[in-house]
Amino acid sequence: MISNVSLYTTTHGSVTVAPLPEGFPIEPTFDSYGRRINYLRISLTDACNLRCVYCMPEDMHFRPRNELMSDDELLHLVKIAASLGVTKIRLTGGEPTIRPGIVDLVRA
């Protein structure tokens, strides 16, 4: 179990984990209505095999694969989130099912 961590992201989405000081309290997070936040939304890709006008204008360009989080980074992030009380993960994107290896990622 991973605990007492702080997450930092780079401009390319890489996750860096830094330990928090010993005894640092990890408090639950609440939304503006007082509900505990126990979910995490992860955008796996901005790519999509459709070009719906309302979502993907013609001049939009997808991020290169090397700017997206790797499978290992995503799994590490999910483990950290779970250790902090996250019980639901929503995988989104443009179209997350076109990400290579999506089935293995979900199984992990």
Of 78, 89, 68, residue with least CA distance to 5? 78
Q: Which amino acid is at 41?
A: R
Answer whether 0.75 is exceeded by the pTM.
no
Cα end-to-end distance, the chain, whole Å: 16
For β-strands 15-19 and 39-43, DSSP reports them as unpaired
Q: Dump pLDDT digits (tens) for 3-49.
A: 444 555 555 555 555 666 677 677 778 889 999 888 999 988 888 88
Q: 79: pLDDT confidence band, cut at 50, 70 and 90?
A: confident
